[in-house]
Every structure is written in C-alpha cells, then in structure tokens.
Structure 1
Amino acid sequence: MAEALAAKRAVTLAAELSIFKVMFEGDCMQVVRALNDHGHVIEEIRRLGSCLESCSFHHVKREGNKLAHSLARRAVSSADMDVWVEELLEDLEAVFQGDFVL
C-alpha cells in the first residue's frame, strides 16, 4: 500500500509541476501491475495521471534504480516532505551517478 500511495503522490506532484509527459518506475511488480489495471487507490492514481499528456508505469528491479530506493528509505525515516527539483542532496549524488554505471 505504501508503494501505491507513493505513486499517487508522484503523479500529483508531476501535475502540480506541470510536467505532463512522465514515466514512473517502481520495484514492486504487484503495484505496477495494479497501476496498469485497476484498484481503489489505483483508480485515483490513474484519474490523476489522466490529467497528464502521457503517463505510464513500468517495473524495474531495485538494483536498476538505487536512487529511488534511497529516496523511499529516506522518506520513511523523515516526518517532513522533501522535494528536489533541480539538485540532489550531496549524499544522494553518488547513488544517482551509480544508477548510470552498467
């Protein structure tokens, strides 16, 4: 359920920032499948996504997106909602760069 709620917030944020062509990735296959099919929270996310010009959801293994995993872990341990639009925090920059190493 946490992954679905995170997806809902991500879609809402994209709409709020007027970013209308987006691809969301998640490492929980069950949530990605549900996002592409149906469900209570899922239907709300899909409704929000319909406001975007293009919106798709794709499963990636956790190893394929370590930055998203690190951000999710940080979000769980923080009571605040942080949004980075232009720059990452220093400790996450290395994780981000590591996602590009094959």
Structure 2
Amino acid sequence: MTVKQRMFDSGTVARNSLGDVLAAITSKGNGLLLAEESEACSLQKALQWATDLMFDNIVVEVDCASMVTAINSGTHSLNSNLGTNLLDSHNLMASFTTCRLQHVHRRGNSVAHELARRALQPEDN
C-alpha cells in the first residue's frame, strides 16, 4: 500500500428515526494516511461530534466495510494509526446507550458524500 501526504474529508449527517436531518458537519485534514486511516479518523470525529451533541442511541453508517468488520469483531491492531483510531472509536461507541456501526455503500448516503466532497473545496472569502 502506498502512503502519501493527502487531504481527506468527511461529511457527517445526524438523522432522527424518521430520516429527518437534525444536524450536519464537514471536516477535513491532511497527513500521511492510508485510505482506511482517513476513514477511521473520520469515524472518530463523527462519534466525538455525536457525543458532544449528547445523542444517546445512534446508528453509524460508513462506506468502508473493512473498518466496520474490524471494529465489530475487535480485530484491529494497535500497531498502526488505523488501530489506534479504531480503538478510540470503539471506546467512544461504548459511551452511548446504543451504538451500532454498519456498512452502507456510498450511494446509500448521498448527503454525507456530498458534504465530504464540498469539505475540500476552497472556502468563500
């Protein structure tokens, strides 16, 4: 796998049980990260955001199936940035009354994908 300096972005959307949008946020960062590490960093930020908003029962949908498998099975290694971020996310998940992590294809959440895409665009002055 190639590691390179790159920008990464994420879009997070909070919805209620009816699917109505309650809140949305974008974030971006850069670093020497693999794609999975960027995904794990974004997950950690989203979980912290949900904690800050004092949500209690959440379902987190992400488009990285390997990350969902790693967290749900507890097979993440702590010998990498990925493992550290996944462990931190796992610990944040335990702070909710209910927190379920599940995989969805990117097309399954077009709003979050569009937010992530826009996070990398230059800001208006």
TM-score by length of 2: 0.57
* Residue aligning to 1:54: 98
Paired residues for 1:1-80 under 5 Å: 1-38=37-74, 39=76, 40=83, 41-75=85-119, 77=120
Change (3 A) 1:78 1:50: farther
Q: Which residue identity does 2:56 align to in structure 1?
A: F
Q: How many residue pairs are counted as aligned between the two chains? A: 79
- SS of residue matched to 1:67: helix
Q: Kindly, what percent of the aligned residue pairs are identical?
A: 32
CA distance in 1: counterparts of 2:71 and 2:117, whole angstroms: 21
- SS of residue matched to 1:19: coil
- SS of residue matched to 1:52: coil
Higher relative contact order (CA 8 A, sep 6+): 2
Q: Which residue identity does 1:66 align to in structure 2?
A: S
Shift of 1:70: 1.1
| Structure 1 residue runs without a partner (length 5+) | 81-102
For the aligned residues, what is the CA RMSD?
A: 1.7
* The structure with more strand, counted as a fraction of residues: 2
* The structure with more helix, counted as a fraction of residues: 1
Shift of 1:79: 7.8
